[in-house]
Chain A
Amino acid sequence: MLSNKEKMLIAEIWESLTPVAEEIGADALLRMFACFPGSKTYFSHLDISRGSPHLLSHGKKIVLALAEGSKDISQLTVTLAPLQIMHAYQLRIDPINFKLLSHCLLVALSCHMRDDFTAVAHAAMDKYLSAFAAVLAEKYR
């Protein structure tokens, strides 16, 4: 459950990170690949080494989607409808991986924002990422 204050905070944070979307997204992905090697299996068709164009562009996509969703969290199901279909029928990524990436996104945010990533911001962001992941998996079955 997100309060209005938390929704604003989340939108603010993602807005401020949009200029560095590539950096944050790639960082989170690299962390996930290092910590949870099973996640790499979904990327066997891409070059996911540090600095690779695939990694940067993929990282950017993810962060921009998160930023877009945060602009109106109550409309997540509408905003994410195309991504829901893609993940359910095409990508079919096991949803456990959403949790793993969410954790790595939080770590990436913490490394980037340092003390600005307060406990309150962390709590709000964790809730948002959980909600986002849940919506993304909604059409799986």
Chain B
Amino acid sequence: MPENSVSADLQTGSDKMVEWTDFERDTIKDIFSRIKYDVVGPAAFARCLVVYPWTQRYFGGFGNLYNAAAIKGNPMVSKHGTTIIHGLDRAVKNLDDIENTYTELSVLHSEKLHVDPDNFKLLADCLTIVVAAQLGKEFTGEVQAAFQKFLAVVVSSLGRQYH
């Protein structure tokens, strides 16, 4: 009998692939095919800066973030928001290998940008709420669950290269 019957999984980390149901795959692809990237991206990022103002600490070079109106109208905020949502698109196209998709971005956020990975979750929550406003009643609890699972995998992948 093995002395340490603690599962090897704990040592190897997340070697397990994420499993997606057909509903989840279809739902995630459907959401991203329906939202306007240049609206949702900027809106979600701006919302994060407003709702969680301490996240502004990473954007000292972005100019005027003084109040909600300034944040919403800030072109650097819009540009970065669009960048983020296009970044998520890569995961949508690689649902079965999100982890490797974000290796470099994870290293970037950790070693160069020094972003606390808890912030990724804050942004994910804001994105959920913005998408909810876009889709209204069609953003059912089941759709929300699929979307949140997707974002959780993305967030986890982005945090993986931190040490």
- Whether B148 pairs with A111 at a CB distance below 8 angstroms is no
Q: Determine the chain B residues whose CB is within 8 A of the CB of A120 once the complex forms.
A: 50, 68
Distance from B59 Cβ to chain A, minimum over Cβ atoms (Å) = 16
- Whether A30 pairs with B141 at a CB distance below 8 angstroms is yes
With A34-B144, A111-B139 already in contact, the answer to whether A126 and B51 are too (CB < 8 A) is yes
- Whether B132 pairs with A119 at a CB distance below 8 angstroms is no
- Whether A123 pairs with B141 at a CB distance below 8 angstroms is no
- Whether B133 pairs with A114 at a CB distance below 8 angstroms is yes
Interface check B111, CB cutoff 8 A? no
Interface check B161, CB cutoff 8 A? no
- Rounded to whole angstroms, the CA-CA distance of A126 and B129 in the bound complex is 12
- Rounded to whole angstroms, the CA-CA distance of A32 and B145 in the bound complex is 9
Interface of B is mostly: helix
With A35-B144, A117-B129, A119-B72 already in contact, the answer to whether A107 and B139 are too (CB < 8 A) is yes
- Report which of A34, A35, A122 forms a contact with B129, defined as CB distance below 8 A: A122
- Whether B133 pairs with A117 at a CB distance below 8 angstroms is yes
- Whether B136 pairs with A34 at a CB distance below 8 angstroms is no
- Whether A34 pairs with B142 at a CB distance below 8 angstroms is yes
- Whether B47 pairs with A119 at a CB distance below 8 angstroms is yes
Count of residues in B whose CB is under 8 Å from the partner chain: 24
Q: Which B residues from 109 to 130 make CB contacts under 8 A with A?
A: 125-126, 128-130
- Whether B141 pairs with A33 at a CB distance below 8 angstroms is yes
Distance from B44 Cβ to chain A, minimum over Cβ atoms (Å) = 10
Interface check B46, CB cutoff 8 A? yes
- Whether B144 pairs with A107 at a CB distance below 8 angstroms is yes
- Whether A111 pairs with B46 at a CB distance below 8 angstroms is no
A-B contact pairs, 27 of them (CB 8 A): A31-B144, A32-B141, A33-B141, A34-B140, A35-B148, A103-B125, A104-B144, A107-B128, A107-B139, A107-B144, A110-B133, A111-B136, A111-B137, A113-B133, A115-B133, A117-B129, A117-B133, A119-B51, A119-B68, A119-B71, A122-B47, A122-B51, A122-B126, A122-B129, A123-B50, A123-B51, A126-B51
Q: Which B positions have Cβ atoms within 8 angstroms of A?
A: 46-47, 50-51, 68, 71-72, 125-126, 128-130, 132-133, 135-137, 139-142, 144-145, 148
